[in-house]
Amino acid sequence: MTNAFEPPASELRPDPGPAPYESLTPELILDAIDNAGWLTSGSLLALNSYENRVYQVGLDDGSFVVAKFYRPQRWSREQILEEHAFCAELVEVELSCVPPLARDGETLLEHEGFRFSVFARQGGHPPNLENEDEVKVLARTLARMHAVGSRYPFAHRDRPTTVARARENVAFLTDNHWLPPEIKDAWASTAEHILEAIAARLPEDAATVRCHGDCHLGNVLWRDNVPHFVDFDDCHNAPAIQDLWMLLPAEPDEKAQRLNLILEAYNDFMHFDMRELNYIESLRALRMINHSAWIARRWHDPAFPLAFPYFDSQRYWSDQVLSLREQLGSVLEGSDPIL
């Protein structure tokens, strides 16, 4: 895709080199699964995933597994194994997540330079957040997850929801010519004002638990009145509200009503620190900034221009300035109401 605001040749973004999954062919994927001890049938279906590559793989006995090939150079072996260990802890207390399957005691496998894991296929659909009973079950389940996560912190996974990390991402976007010249100052100034406001509201030393980290509805499969959590790839240490705020609607009255419902059910299994309500809009603002930087850092991956075709355009960044200004107002308004 041609950049609508291409900088001079001397200032072009550096060539990142080959795409990270260039050599991940269907043959390599099937060979990896076969060599790990699962006999494949040759059936292979790519599933929706951008950060990693995830496939439904047919086995010779007619069943299916899901294989996740981790993005090279993203996580260390220790960080991935912490994800796996957290899932194992949740399964031990009969919480439904989808843990990696082991082969000879190993859950993190390697083939031709790629790290991968294999999972059982889990059916289901996103929970219906208009159904109060489903919201309560989801909130109680997250409370139980956080009770496990509060036992001790991750040792190798850092906390991405910080002002310091967002400032790194702002610098990346401004220093690597992602912003059109006529919008760059407005965007950078608005981002800095938001980060100053967040710094006064989101303590760096806030209490944290090990949490899912990316608890949107696409990562929860509902079946038989049970939420099955998938994709713990972004699990990290964070305030408990990190796993709750994405379940809230935008409309203020509906937001307050659902938040009360969530907290009432959550407190059945885990005490919720009400001070964390002050973090919601700050966390939302950090996600907005970090999301733009994430796309920019991954732009050399062919999947990203296809998935986000308007990202590399003046319109995208103009809309971002407006969205960030609106979000700044939300951050400055303070805590969320409780009815």
Identity at 84, one-letter amino acid code: H
User: Of residues 231, 233, 301, 312, which has the active-site annotation?
Assistant: 231
Query: Quick one: which H or E segment has residue 332?
Result: helix 314-333
Q: Which token pair is 269?
A: 């299994």
Task: Judge whether 231 counts as a catalytic residue.
Answer: yes
Q: How many residues does the chain have?
A: 339
Query: Quick one: which H or E segment has residue 193?
Result: helix 181-199
Q: For residues 161 and 140, what is the distance between their CA atoms, to the nearest angstrom? A: 24
Task: Judge whether 158 counts as a catalytic residue.
Answer: no
User: Of residues 15, 104, 158, 214, which has the active-site annotation?
Assistant: 214
CB atoms within 10 A of CB 263: 17
Contact 256, 337 (CB under 8 A): yes
Q: Which token pair is 268?
A: 């059945």
Give the CA diameter of the chain. 60
Q: Catalytic site residues?
A: 214, 231
